[in-house]
Structure 1
Amino acid sequence: MASQDEIDQLPKLTAPVSYEAPGSPHSFDEKADHPDKLEKRHSSASSLSSKGEPGGKAVYDTDDDVRYVNGEPVITTGRDVSRFLIDIRDDGDPAVTFRSLFLGTVFAGLGAALCQIYLFKPVQVQVSTVFLLLLIYSCGLAWAKYLPRAEWVEGTRFARLVPVLRFLNPGEFQIKELYYSTNVEATTAILATFSTACFGYGLVGLLRPLTVYPSEMVYWTNLPTVSIFQALHFDSASNHKRLKLFWSAFTGMFIWEVLPSYIFPLLNGINIVCLATQHVPSAAQDVITNLFGGTDGNEGLGFLSLSLDWQYITSTFMSWPLIQQANSWIGYAVCYGAIMGIYYSNVWNSKAFPMLSTSLYSQNGTRYNQTAVFGSKFQLNETALETIGLPALTGSNAWSNLCANLAIGGLIAHTVLFWGPYVWESFKQARAKSQPDPHWQIVNKNYEEVPWHWYFGLLVLSFFAGLIVIFKGQTTLPWYAYITALLLGAFITPFSTLLYARMGNGIATNQLMKMVAGAINPGKPVANLYFSMWSHDVVSTSIGLAGDLKIGQYLKIPPRSMFLTQIWGTILGAAVNYVVMVSVVDAQREVLLDPRGTNVWSGQYPQSLNSAAVTWSLAKQLYGPHGPYIWIPLALLFGMVPTFFQWIIAKRWPTIKGIRISSIILPIIYQYSQWMSSGTNSPVTSCIIVGLVSQLWLRRYHPGWYKKYNFILGGALDGGAQVMIFILSFAVFGASGTPRPFPAWWGNPAQGNVDYCNGNGALD
């Protein structure tokens, strides 16, 4: 069985971009918005759909610079999403029924289970919400059609059953009978999870005018959910082609995923260099593996590998806007050079350890004995520390931590300098109730908003729930550190949510939380883990729940119904996550503790949490003025400086050689500059290709196809792959017992790395 502290290390998982507002960044190929347009009312898509010219020529709406191809607007900004992609229709149908409660509960549990399984994969990916919702839609239609309905017995001797049947089957399945949030993960128990998640939800409610209401707050990876449900319910005449595409793609991917994930894993990382260098000298093979290998966990950087395993590619790159992806490409390039450079120049004594790993090591390269240093009470033993010595990070892990701090500093600076005017304008609009987003206006007119005191009461309730855990549980976290953690999470939440809503993925803030925890709780690694739970997890939970509120706004779901179902879904998802987590940890404990893991299971994420907790509990020795990693905490400040100079340049020269200076998002570049520091890296090239095809080619040159089919195709591919992975995890991967590997053959070698890059003793 896993020990309680090992279970406590397991984090929450959040699921993926936004378009721009005044003063916000713009894509390298996209137009700028203008402040004077903030107050303009959005016109409908139908009134603007005839501006294209024959032959595919692109033209622009002279009023707002919208680009059209074949009569279809190219969706670029948040305003475009609100005007052209999301329908403003609201039928006033009920949102909470017995049917929606039942189906939501079942599928929230399925989503939570899948989410937890992927936490222990070599690559952290998201569960396809689109797939879950389409399953709900199919089940809802069957429920409405086949279960007894009230009109069947009206006017008969069974008429007294009408209320019961209407309760069980309210008739046609409606768009608002949706689902619950499935991205909230378990921590130590339901009470602690309730405290963390609901505190985050309370913050989301207070920040709604900034992070939910405006058009620029898009939450791009939620668009498949919204567009598919509106298509299914509002445009039934053309549903046949869309549903045919969905089920064809889903079935094809469901069958295909058996190959790369089980029978033919080489398909997850085909690298010509690896295959062509089987017999080179061992020293050369080591270098080749470090750069080109990437199919197994922590094998290498996977440079130029081609992955055909959709479970790791995912449809997120079909949703993230081009501005986010363009900045990430710069980060990827930096990452390849930086990690190879750090390792081979022996910075931080890197060559004494594996090139990629999130584990802790002794100075001689062996696994660090943290149990001896911190003992059974998880308190620092100074005598043992002097005997065993300080722990060491791999060069890639140290670089990852440094980049994380650069990104946090850059995030704060970018938000204040570039998006500050937008923040101020949003709160003024909220006070005057003049928010121009058409979807918000409909919801505000037709439904009662959740009172502010509901969210404030949730904050108070979750605060005291956490205090009970602090005083009754074995957290080793003082009450004042608990309060500090909540305040820190509350401070970071609006910064992270703004970036996530605009760009599709946020900045990992866990490093900052560990720094503060180490300063407050020196020598207490478990206390640092709990501190992170009530700070970083509050941020990640807030982002996920804010995205859900945006879905509610797009689909015109009554806010009070959203409030109640999100709380229920939060608790339900946490309970399911906890059960699945314990099952996987118990069955795969040795693999999860291994620094490398396998191409199926990996503990690299919880290992990284543990490494940060331990090292920051020794902050004075490791990160102080005379410590080996002094530059890591200083990076928090250094991350702000380049953004300041960027802002100064942008004020003087907004555009240089066709590139808007504000479209360079330095925190995203910093984040991706350490992207390949652990895990399986072979999918990176394929992800870039998918993003280019979807966001550059389809979106710009085939906007009609993009709007109708892009999101439903991505959801189908995700769903097919992830359902097969769910089945294989318990059937053959050993999620709850003994694994049953596929027999060895050339595409599934018995020894060495799957991609045949066998340096660094892979065949020993």
Structure 2
Amino acid sequence: MFCKLENGDNSFKISPEEDSPYAEVRSAVANFDDPDMPVSTIRAWVLGIIWTVLLAGINQVIVYRFPSILITSFVALLVIFPCGQAWARLCPSISVLNRPLNPGPFSIKEHVLSAVMASVAAQSAYSTDIIAVQRVFYGEIYSFLFQWMLTVSTQLIGLSLGGMMHRFLVAPPSMIWPNTLVQCALLNTLHSQQYAGIGRHRGPSRERFFLMAFIGAVLWSFLPSYLFTALSIFSWPCWIAPNNIRVNQLFGFQSGLGLSMITFDWNQIAYIGSPLATPWWSEANVVAGFILFYVIITPIFYYTNIWYSQYLPMVANSAFDNTGHVYNLTRVLTNGAFNMQAYEDYSPLYLSMNFVVAYGLSFIAIGATVTHGIIYLRKPTWLHFKRSLQEQPDIHARLMSKYRRVRGWYYACVFVVTFAMACLCIELWPTGMAIWELLVALGLARSGVLIAMIQAVTNRQVPMNVFTELISGFLLPGQPVAMMLYVMILLCPTSLAIAFTQDFKLGHYMKIPPLVMFWAQIASTLIAGSVQLGVQLWLPPRSLGLSLSIRDMCSKNQKDQFTCQNVQIFGTASIIWGAIGSSLQFTTGHLYYPLMFCFIIGAACPAILWVLTKRFPRSKLGYVKLASRVIFGGPAYVPPANGVNYLTWALVGFIFQHLVRRRRFLWWAKYNYVLSAALDGGTAVGLILIYFWRVSILQYPLNGTIGINTVQQWWGNTVYTRTLDWKSPPLKVLAPGETFGFVFHTIT
């Protein structure tokens, strides 16, 4: 029997003592509901739309800057609260279209609805990366209609797939979705203790603390991001030895491993995630993985010249040819398709050592995740799957039965419309894909429900990005745009189905009518996608004929650091997997074939640990088996992240998540997550203010000459550019006309 109740089934009686069978849920989610509480109000929709537009627009700008720190859905959830409170106090009690403009105090259900809408806009649509790569790498600019249909179709297909699995992933009590419990706890705290602190700790309210920290973060951001940028790029060993190539390769920020260990820029610290929101044990294992693979293995491989790496920079986000120059893609493409003869006449493709290690580590992580799942998660996952089909509804499912549920044909209609849009994109524009390939990709994407079920129970998601690129490179060699689309169709429906389902679980816990959640997600998806594409249209370089843009956008030396690192990495991947294809890189007889053994290494690690724990049951190896996936998957942000991001992140995490949590727990419980949100949001807002300050006040009035001989040129803003790190040199420099390395079909 499925976990299911009919709409409006009020025949049961709920005891005040009745609660969820899971302690985690009981501690964070209330076991009662007020069906008369306002939820789908004008206030909730207006706040949701405003923050959807703001998050979509601001994050779409920030994502092209490195380091970039996005305004997360967690920040939006916090900031919406005072906005709703102010609306309740200041807005007149009048009606618009027979709906009250101010229905009274800002309710927790209105808060959830607005926050869910904003959360949809917190992440940039995957399709915007494809559009950017087409523009920057291949000089292809398709119409706005293509971009909009591609974005909306991939986003809403994910919603439809997630909705079709609602009964497996939302209603069953065993599908806990641990991440939503943090949001539930915060929401319940904000609305039930608006003016009091948590526990016995004395001090300012969390709202006041948030405001002070937020303003402080905005003001501080002007130092490392404008007035004293060396505080951000704090590669101090390179300043001491600016012409020592090995020092710059190890400690440099631009083309080095970034082992200087310190930065004073929250952008850099929180680039891989807030250290205040990640458990210390997880941070410790992540930094252990970084040290093993990038502090130890990468230098060893580089300085022993494995894969001819010494002829290239140690760290780079581009692919190279056999002269050490950036790979000239136009020399191996004819009419947008791969030309084998031109490839043989030109050069094999070479990767910097950080890229090689990153791909190998991704393969290890995939192999380890699969084996770990088979050994340790097979029985519990199957048990939870059977429970989801058989278990009785808990208190939350029965409370939700009062509300009209979303019928399956709603999701079917969304799927049909968006599938038709995807087909039009494929057929009306030269994408290189066929309809049958779209059908195969969507069929494979449906298996993502198993990944979602694992995440709902274990809070772990299987990393699939590099693996899907590898497979797509074998299926669609020589067609970079088709390969990128195929990867997107494989990944997006799964990842977005998980995101939408997680939001539905939040609504389930907070008793939001499902139909209201459905329409809120539809509306915010359409709005966010349109805003992101509009911002992206405004951003490109003036060379494309646009009057409003960021000067030198996506260039290596862009003065505001809008270097488009993610676009560069994604574009390089399109060359590796799409333009040239996986078979010319990772099969027998080719340069990077040894990386395929990383799958075996990764698969073997959990098995070896399992055997050892059986042989030595009293040892501490049990802790390692739980951490192995974190160690392998933790350094996944490299590139473009480096040691500055990882090591400072771990240091701050050790202070707050270990020392402060153990020694000042009451302070930590009251302020830690609020401080994290304030630093994230304040720094992001500061970046926007700095950019518009530079554009409107410094750039245009005197043709950008204000401060050109003062603040722009003083030591604190130029010291790091006067090093070899900023010139990205290789260890071995070739003479003009000289080549190195791998010869097609043979290795010399």
In which range does the TM-score fall when normalised by the shorter chain? 0.7 to 0.9
Q: Cα offset for 1:613?
A: 1.9
Superposed counterparts of 1:364-403, under 5 Å: 364-375=323-334, 377-403=335-361
- The answer for unaligned runs of 5 or more in structure 2 is 1-14, 132-146, 198-203, 542-548, 731-748
For 1:483, the aligned partner's letter is: L
The corresponding residue for 1:83 is: 26
Superposed counterparts of 1:95-244, under 5 Å: 95-123=39-67, 125-150=69-94, 164=97, 166-177=99-110, 178-179=114-115, 180=117, 181-186=120-125, 187=127, 188=131, 189-208=147-166, 212=170, 217-220=176-179, 225-238=183-196, 241-244=205-208
The corresponding residue for 2:673 is: 711
Superposed counterparts of 1:475-514, under 5 Å: 475-492=431-448, 494-495=450-451, 498-499=454-455, 502=458, 506=461, 508-514=463-469
CA distance in 1, matches of 2:463, 2:554: 22
For 2:307, the aligned partner's letter is: W
CA distance in 2, matches of 1:658, 1:403: 21
For 1:538, the aligned partner's letter is: P
The corresponding residue for 1:273 is: 237
Q: Cα offset for 1:610?
A: 1.9
The question of 1:463 aligning with 2:425 is answered no
Q: Cα offset for 1:576?
A: 1.2
The corresponding residue for 2:631 is: 669
Q: Cα offset for 1:331?
A: 0.9
8 Å CA contact 1:583–1:736 kept in 2: the answer is: no
8 Å CA contact 1:175–1:233 kept in 2: the answer is: yes
CA distance in 2, matches of 1:407, 1:733: 43
For 1:326, the aligned partner's letter is: A
The corresponding residue for 2:534 is: 579
For 1:548, the aligned partner's letter is: D
The corresponding residue for 1:58 is: none
CA distance in 1, matches of 2:454, 2:406: 22
Query: Which of 339, 342, 361 in structure 1 is aligned with 2:298?
Result: 339
8 Å CA contact 1:358–1:678 kept in 2: the answer is: yes
Query: Which of 521, 525, 543 in structure 1 is aligned with 2:480?
Result: 525
Q: Cα offset for 1:260?
A: 1.0
CA distance in 1, matches of 2:655, 2:168: 32
- The answer for unaligned runs of 5 or more in structure 1 is 1-40, 46-77, 151-161
With over 3 angstroms needed to count, the CA separation of the structure-2 counterparts of 1:350 and 1:250, relative to structure 1, is: same
For 1:359, the aligned partner's letter is: S
Superposed counterparts of 1:9-48, under 5 Å: none
8 Å CA contact 2:93–2:100 kept in 1: the answer is: no
CA distance in 1, matches of 2:522, 2:90: 31
With over 3 angstroms needed to count, the CA separation of the structure-2 counterparts of 1:85 and 1:433, relative to structure 1, is: same
CA distance in 1, matches of 2:500, 2:722: 39
For 1:563, the aligned partner's letter is: F
The question of 1:640 aligning with 2:583 is answered no
With over 3 angstroms needed to count, the CA separation of the structure-2 counterparts of 1:500 and 1:113, relative to structure 1, is: farther
Q: Cα offset for 1:417?
A: 2.7
The question of 1:258 aligning with 2:222 is answered yes
CA distance in 1, matches of 2:31, 2:61: 37
CA distance in 2, matches of 1:500, 1:120: 31
CA distance in 1, matches of 2:625, 2:598: 22
With over 3 angstroms needed to count, the CA separation of the structure-2 counterparts of 1:579 and 1:681, relative to structure 1, is: farther
CA distance in 2, matches of 1:729, 1:507: 37
CA distance in 1, matches of 2:453, 2:278: 15
The corresponding residue for 1:54 is: none
CA distance in 2, matches of 1:493, 1:113: 31
CA distance in 1, matches of 2:699, 2:362: 34
CA distance in 2, matches of 1:760, 1:430: 54
The question of 1:472 aligning with 2:428 is answered yes
Q: Secondary structure at the match of 1:592?
A: coil
CA distance in 2, matches of 1:502, 1:699: 24
CA distance in 1, matches of 2:453, 2:264: 32
For 1:464, the aligned partner's letter is: A
With over 3 angstroms needed to count, the CA separation of the structure-2 counterparts of 1:139 and 1:410, relative to structure 1, is: same
Q: Secondary structure at the match of 1:664?
A: helix
For 1:369, the aligned partner's letter is: N
The question of 1:292 aligning with 2:254 is answered no
How many percent of aligned residue pairs carry the same amino acid?
24
Q: Cα offset for 1:625?
A: 0.8
What per-residue deviation string (whole Å, max 9, x for no partner) do you get for residues 71-110 of structure 1? xxxxxxx955423344445333232112211111111111
For 1:110, the aligned partner's letter is: L
CA distance in 2, matches of 1:470, 1:565: 28
The corresponding residue for 1:36 is: none
CA distance in 2, matches of 1:653, 1:446: 53
Q: Cα offset for 1:724?
A: 0.9
For 1:603, the aligned partner's letter is: C
For 2:640, the aligned partner's letter is: S
For 2:540, the aligned partner's letter is: V
TM-score calculated relative to the size of structure 1: 0.79
Q: Secondary structure at the match of 2:226?
A: helix
Query: Which of 683, 706, 718 in structure 2 is aligned with 1:749?
Result: 718
What per-residue deviation string (whole Å, max 9, x for no partner) do you get for residues 432-484 of structure 1? 34366x6x446544434434444444344433321221112221112222223
What is the CA RMSD across the aligned residues, in angstroms? 3.4
Q: Cα offset for 1:591?
A: 5.0
Q: Cα offset for 1:345?
A: 1.4
The question of 1:729 aligning with 2:662 is answered no
The corresponding residue for 1:537 is: 492
With over 3 angstroms needed to count, the CA separation of the structure-2 counterparts of 1:382 and 1:270, relative to structure 1, is: closer
Q: Cα offset for 1:232?
A: 2.3
CA distance in 2, matches of 1:241, 1:167: 31
With over 3 angstroms needed to count, the CA separation of the structure-2 counterparts of 1:249 and 1:44, relative to structure 1, is: farther
The corresponding residue for 1:358 is: 317
For 1:578, the aligned partner's letter is: L
For 1:171, the aligned partner's letter is: G
Q: Secondary structure at the match of 2:109?
A: coil
Q: Secondary structure at the match of 1:301?
A: coil
For 2:488, the aligned partner's letter is: M
CA distance in 2, matches of 1:500, 1:265: 41
With over 3 angstroms needed to count, the CA separation of the structure-2 counterparts of 1:554 and 1:652, relative to structure 1, is: farther
With over 3 angstroms needed to count, the CA separation of the structure-2 counterparts of 1:689 and 1:464, relative to structure 1, is: same
What per-residue deviation string (whole Å, max 9, x for no partner) do you get for residues 527-547 of structure 1? 111111211233332343233
8 Å CA contact 1:597–1:603 kept in 2: the answer is: no
8 Å CA contact 2:177–2:456 kept in 1: the answer is: no
CA distance in 1, matches of 2:175, 2:669: 18
For 2:122, the aligned partner's letter is: N
8 Å CA contact 1:360–1:611 kept in 2: the answer is: yes
Q: Secondary structure at the match of 1:434?
A: coil
Q: Secondary structure at the match of 2:223?
A: helix
Q: Secondary structure at the match of 2:474?
A: helix
CA distance in 1, matches of 2:617, 2:148: 50
With over 3 angstroms needed to count, the CA separation of the structure-2 counterparts of 1:750 and 1:318, relative to structure 1, is: closer
8 Å CA contact 2:52–2:527 kept in 1: the answer is: yes
